[in-house]
Structure 1
């Protein structure tokens, strides 16, 4: 039985369970009524996302999930991106609660950007639309930070869970998310809300204003909105007691399996400094600069990690703070009775921040006469004829690496549309520009560190100064000597000297002109045939600049210790990029053909098809297509199916990104050591588009008014998938070593003595990551959506239930073991959690006239910690997790208008997420992980607010 067949079996069982109970219902297309309305409210037919010719969502062969903005924000107040992620079809989305990173490829310049990810196979395979038009990318990797969409005037969001590249172009491999603006809003609405966690942190403030009115006797309409959001975040992982420095140690072998530990410490790296050579070896500095014996923790399967003891640990941010302004304005005007024009602008001005690494000093050389060292210890070193000694330390006193990402995102749209006889046409122009500036505070200047570590007494002033200030004053650069003998010994002047701010700025611009014409040129006996012809020209450009590039090297003149000529000046580097561009030309034809109607078991039967030709000046020419079937057996049952071929072209960053490097401490499986070495990112100009093949099969059952059930199976295969292959990943390391050095993956690491020498002298010198068209991604599963709107005790009530079943996400590459990220919590290159079963239930009840109660229940099943079958774990499991949310809304009619006062409690029962970590992140205890991305880390959270509508 093939995968789609197995899924169909699952659907049959799930359907039986769903139909056995009248408590569950689906929204395809019925919608739950907002607070204060009655369930008799009908929903207008809409132009369905996923097609240019189908005018009613009931006739769509593609599964479409529709959410009204007011509904989803009532259940989860805050940003619309966070609210959408309650839908189970999204998995692996990134946002504020992710692992902190700097400007590396995972963060794409802003590690805390809100990125929507359908099916957990990459946000870059989910296309973001605004009123059916492509939204320009905002991040380095071509992904859209959806905070760009001003949400005060977004009426609804349509999510198509199937490939639609033939309709919308590249990137729509797993589907599209289409934000629909309320273009006819008249009146005034305001929002004010604030929230805080039960622990007193994570404060949020959100205020917004939107207004709209007609003018010119109704021929014109203008609307605008503004929203301000301030989220304080959670600055330290230690601010939650369940976050107990979790990490994984071991080698993943039968003899030394991976084990999840808490209370981990960095072996040999205390906060106060550990002497690692000579007569004083094995002693650590206390707060007053005095030495005592270092107390090691309990050994683990990784030499770099211990449980407890005097070792230090990282304490990175848990939720990234954010402050932003969203702006939107739109003008519509009927130029004639048949021609309509519009112009609109949307902007998002925001700043995110996250906090990650402390600086780690690894066996730095210090003078035995260092001016900060107590005379008694200097005497002991002199008595042992030691002129120098070595020291290792985790420098918590210097502060954490802070990445502040300042985004300036603007999207301008304008166009004409109208009627030409029985045909409708449209012409649209889009200009998007993003300026993403990332400031790295506390970036270590290695040259200054080497100079500051060499502290001596100036004989002329009897003050402690840097040695270079005496030997080569012209290169001293205001050097302030650094005291590393104790957790808080360093002076503020020394910290300011060795740490500096560095800056990286990227600019992305997209211009697009698109047009379409659609109508019905003729009819069959079953109804009119719909045709749509569309075309688009698009140009995307990218450029960046940096003041801390990998070509910046140290000048060791006058520096005695810890300086190697030609080595990197900065601990964190990011190279600038000259301007590169990509031009795309596309043309598409879509048809919807009714075949039969009003026959036994054939109330209506229609087919939908689309074909698109796409030409990239960087990646070549491609055809995409889609076929769909909509079969309405009777008034209660319909079947739908699609088959599509889709593409995702490589982004400019994947093709032309400059060489970039960041320090990492991944375990070297050949020598079992965990050195801190550079990880170098490489682009690949020879990439071609990846090809997606998608099939869906579904059934919709609506036996009574306001009750419906939809079940849809899907199977997606992506061939020639563009994958960033990281040479440090365990699977690629093993493939290299097992081949004796002949595997192409051996080119992704540097060593001095080949691949047979396992001694410490042959430890890895550098890792590389590079993009290749070598992967195949395959996933399959099913979505269940049920909606029921009725009355309970003669009062309005509704229930919506959504489920996503996705047992497998296979990643296949030549020469390495196939990994399965389905039902797995952690993976390489920042892979996020993908539970195999995700459930969300939304219930609403109006017990009295003006009071509405909303309850949301979310649940995911348990997962594996790692998806590599070659890894051996002591316990490869992270427990299931559930949260409950409650909203009380009171609608009051005042002179000012209708005002909804609300209280929302997220995570009502204050559930703590179960602990977990990624196997290869364990060499930096407390820096990342600790929980599965997507789980709630805030705990019980209270939001109060008011919505006013005039």
Structure 2
């Protein structure tokens, strides 16, 4: 919601912020105190003439009267209302000084309130859901779908049918402030605001022209990136009208092979070969110097049938089909060896570290004062992005070759295969190109609206109304994917009457195009066989959103304690999806199996919000919203809160909210996606490859949440510039819309829940071990609680040195997650706080210190997370371990280290005041080149969510403003 206030009021609010009263303003926080303005050093001769200055002053005053201040967390258009809801902000100056990349999401995600966000770095394996490359914010680790993203108080067109917003689509060069509401806000803003709201506030009255160009690279000479942006604004018709235009373009080189030393540690989790029920040993072992033994670049025989059972196990094939014998080391399972030849598979280097990306953004805004009480505006935005990933090598752990296969006979000889009916080969098919995902996405948004101020009940009132249409087109494609039927045909090779090796199927159907494939060795596959079995499935998906809303904020009356503020309004939203996939790409592939999703729903909403002063220093805030979904019916959400300021230095605040989130189109109507992964089978202790198929569930109900926040803000008068806040939060979600993933499904089946067993069956194609089907549903509850700590201190250096120039600003944020429990209702729960693999870290923190003068600024940043467990489902023990439980298996070592990063940022203003402003900037991220958190996993052995994978990186550039 927006409200029009004179620019003078804005400056008064800013002055209050700078003096330490930051937390009393609902639309800003102490973060704005870091904004510094260079002193005007222009000589007298360079000043504009009196006439020109007078004209500019008149125009600026007109622009100021048109400016509408966005109040985040409330629809009440009164910046003097003390908000009971905690709001953290990033100012424009912080964004310019501290952004680690050319994407604002990277800075926002460093705030401790965000945990587990999706980024281009950690979405490489989103092969089938269309979200690869999206920067989606995740408040409280409750999921991006529960974190509402707004721009100037309005919804942003989602970038996928899951409803999540790509922060890349926001015109970043015009962002004036980023506000984060850390508490349920469904009563104010509707569904999806269960965890909170992130509001990007634009500088809608910007006048001038600014240009930015920057480039970056890693310390290893890879990951090069370039970015350029331009934004301009000007008034016309004596200040009644205003035009804003902006655009930017960015490119990031991909890093398609891991060339970092930290990825060769060989940490794995394996079944303990000495475990016997009741002997007190852990069921699993975490070991080093371990690697995959059941797949090799040129293939390895894992089993044979007939003849002497498994007599051929361990034979692997090298360059040109050379025959070798694998050393299984000190001990091994069916898929992992410790020591020996564990490093020969070398698959941990053959995956992508960073996607290649290209994005382009255009934004335009036109506004005009048609009357003293009405400003009409129109906005348009177009965003295009493409992300290309190396998603790793082909992976086949159980290729079955008949004992008479001519390639096998040629490699081993007929004598070695006497009476052998078949062998099972595992391979990563080095001769084949790696799988590559290419997600092309365009998002368009068009908004028309009006807003203004007028007098009502003898007081100032504000109104706004808008309509918005947005459409997202995605083209999702996976290159070099195996067709399972063609793999079977090409694998079944025989010799024809002329002695040539051909496909058996070609004997009866010579024109079927089949070319036999040789799995035994590297450099042995023919181009014809590779071209026959591989293809590039794709899907086109279209998502449309129509939103309209109207809001009114007024002061109908006053009590002895002050004005009573009331806001009312309504919103209508319509969302629908459609798509197209060629029939041949809808099934039969090793991964992908794209199907288009068709679905539609609409929602009608109305709300009422009020802020009532009760006594001196005591106020009440409340909101209620009625929501009617075409799919799930009517629900009511509400929020109550209050503030108490017994003395000027201390403010107490508390809120209680009841929020909802209705199922989105993907959860309701997903036509089916698939992903290949692996699981530890508790019944056998072996690792199985799995094809997981997920579809929608049209019977889903809205999930409900209750959130409590209690805190205090201290702004001591005796320490000017100091502000400290501490808030305790607790969120409990019932009927949460979630789904079980393959490992959980197989664990539940093993524990006796037969409903889950029905979702598991052998893979009929034989290319994976198992096929698991899963859909989302409303399970019991999700609960989290913790403490947010926020402190800032800003002071001029002259307090310490009388004649010194400049100012220091110190800013610290930390969140302590006390609890994060997912209760499936199946008889067990796991608190995953401190669980690196699936929950939020116990502590997330970020501290910055900035020294700034009129000429330059230096900022040091320390950030990181605390140590924790790999998985809180494990019970760590070394002896006298409890009996095995599939939900809480025992392990010898479950700990993972924390991470600490140190960054530096510097800016320097060039002395070119006569022609405008020019600033050079340099950012060094991960100054100490700290390695990421290492995890006991195959492939990429690092945490991708909280860790820096690239190592030390540099980014430098220039900003110009005229």
Question: Would the TM-score normalized by the shorter structure come out above 0.5?
Answer: yes
SS of aligned partner of 1:398: coil
| 1:268 aligns to 2:294 (yes or no) | yes
| 1:294 aligns to 2:326 (yes or no) | yes
Rounded to whole Å, the distance in 1 between the matches of 2:653 and 2:351 is 48
**Residues 330 and 615 of structure 1: is their aligned pair in 2 closer, same or farther, counting only changes over 3 Å?**
same
Deviations 1:515-547 (A, max 9, x none): 011110111112111111110111000123333
| 1:416 aligns to 2:450 (yes or no) | yes
Q: Which residue of 2 aligns with 1:821?
A: 832
**Residues 72 and 305 of structure 1: is their aligned pair in 2 closer, same or farther, counting only changes over 3 Å?**
farther
SS of aligned partner of 2:141: coil
Match of 2:905 among 875, 884, 887: 887
Q: Which residue of 2 aligns with 1:834?
A: 840
Q: Is the 8 A contact 1:722 1:775 kept in 2?
A: no
Rounded to whole Å, the distance in 2 between the matches of 1:608 and 1:317 is 50
**Residues 273 and 242 of structure 1: is their aligned pair in 2 closer, same or farther, counting only changes over 3 Å?**
closer
SS of aligned partner of 2:816: strand
| 1:380 aligns to 2:415 (yes or no) | yes
SS of aligned partner of 2:681: coil
| 1:750 aligns to 2:761 (yes or no) | yes
| 1:660 aligns to 2:683 (yes or no) | no
Q: Which residue of 1 aligns with 2:92?
A: 69
What is the count of residue pairs matched by the alignment?
A: 871
Deviations 1:742-790 (A, max 9, x none): 54333332379xxxxxxxx9x9743222211113111111111111111
**Residues 363 and 818 of structure 1: is their aligned pair in 2 closer, same or farther, counting only changes over 3 Å?**
closer
Q: Which residue of 1 aligns with 2:209?
A: 188
Rounded to whole Å, the distance in 1 between the matches of 2:953 and 2:825 is 47
User: Bigger CA drift: 363-372 or 809-818?
Assistant: 363-372
Residue 222 of structure 1: CA displacement? 0.4
Alignment root-mean-square deviation, CA: 2.9
**Residues 401 and 334 of structure 1: is their aligned pair in 2 closer, same or farther, counting only changes over 3 Å?**
same
User: Bigger CA drift: 58-67 or 309-318?
Assistant: 309-318
User: Bigger CA drift: 187-196 or 367-376?
Assistant: 367-376
**Residues 685 and 771 of structure 1: is their aligned pair in 2 closer, same or farther, counting only changes over 3 Å?**
same
Q: Which residue of 1 aligns with 2:107?
A: 83
Match of 2:810 among 799, 816, 823: 799
**Residues 112 and 839 of structure 1: is their aligned pair in 2 closer, same or farther, counting only changes over 3 Å?**
same
Q: Which residue of 1 aligns with 2:881?
A: none
| 1:707 aligns to 2:722 (yes or no) | yes
Q: Is the 8 A contact 1:156 1:180 kept in 2?
A: yes
Residue 181 of structure 1: CA displacement? 0.9
Q: Is the 8 A contact 2:922 2:955 kept in 1?
A: yes
User: Bigger CA drift: 371-380 or 689-698?
Assistant: 371-380
Residue 348 of structure 1: CA displacement? 1.8
SS of aligned partner of 2:598: strand
SS of aligned partner of 1:124: helix
SS of aligned partner of 1:633: strand
Residue 397 of structure 1: CA displacement? 2.4
Rounded to whole Å, the distance in 2 between the matches of 1:691 and 1:880 is 34
Match of 1:774 among 774, 779, 784: 779
Rounded to whole Å, the distance in 1 between the matches of 2:570 and 2:80 is 24
Q: Is the 8 A contact 2:925 2:953 kept in 1?
A: yes
User: Bigger CA drift: 421-430 or 776-785?
Assistant: 421-430
User: Bigger CA drift: 275-284 or 929-938?
Assistant: 275-284
Rounded to whole Å, the distance in 2 between the matches of 1:630 and 1:735 is 46
| 1:854 aligns to 2:859 (yes or no) | yes
Q: Which structure 1 segments of 5+ residues have no match?
A: 1-21, 553-568, 598-603, 753-760, 828-832
Rounded to whole Å, the distance in 1 between the matches of 2:606 and 2:410 is 80
**Residues 117 and 415 of structure 1: is their aligned pair in 2 closer, same or farther, counting only changes over 3 Å?**
same
| 1:396 aligns to 2:430 (yes or no) | yes
Match of 2:743 among 705, 729, 733: 729
| 1:440 aligns to 2:478 (yes or no) | yes
Q: Which has the higher contact order (CA 8 A, sep 6+)?
A: 1
Rounded to whole Å, the distance in 2 between the matches of 1:349 and 1:932 is 25
Q: Which structure 2 segments of 5+ residues have no match?
A: 1-18, 41-63, 875-887
Rounded to whole Å, the distance in 2 between the matches of 1:376 and 1:183 is 72
Q: Is the 8 A contact 1:537 1:583 kept in 2?
A: yes
SS of aligned partner of 2:201: strand
User: Bigger CA drift: 22-31 or 880-889?
Assistant: 22-31
Residue 695 of structure 1: CA displacement? 0.9
SS of aligned partner of 2:465: strand
**Residues 388 and 783 of structure 1: is their aligned pair in 2 closer, same or farther, counting only changes over 3 Å?**
closer
Residue 588 of structure 1: CA displacement? 0.3
Q: Is the 8 A contact 2:850 2:860 kept in 1?
A: yes
Q: Which residue of 1 aligns with 2:933?
A: 914
Match of 2:556 among 515, 521, 541: 521
| 1:788 aligns to 2:793 (yes or no) | yes
Rounded to whole Å, the distance in 2 between the matches of 1:595 and 1:25 is 22
Residue 639 of structure 1: CA displacement? 1.1
Residue 862 of structure 1: CA displacement? 0.5
Q: Which residue of 2 aligns with 1:317?
A: 352
Match of 1:542 among 577, 584, 596: 577
Q: Is the 8 A contact 2:387 2:439 kept in 1?
A: yes
**Residues 377 and 326 of structure 1: is their aligned pair in 2 closer, same or farther, counting only changes over 3 Å?**
same
Q: Given the two structures, how large is their TM-score scaled by the length of structure 2?
A: 0.85
SS of aligned partner of 1:839: strand
Deviations 1:677-720 (A, max 9, x none): 43221321111111110111111111133221111111111111
User: Bigger CA drift: 220-229 or 480-489?
Assistant: 480-489
**Residues 46 and 376 of structure 1: is their aligned pair in 2 closer, same or farther, counting only changes over 3 Å?**
closer
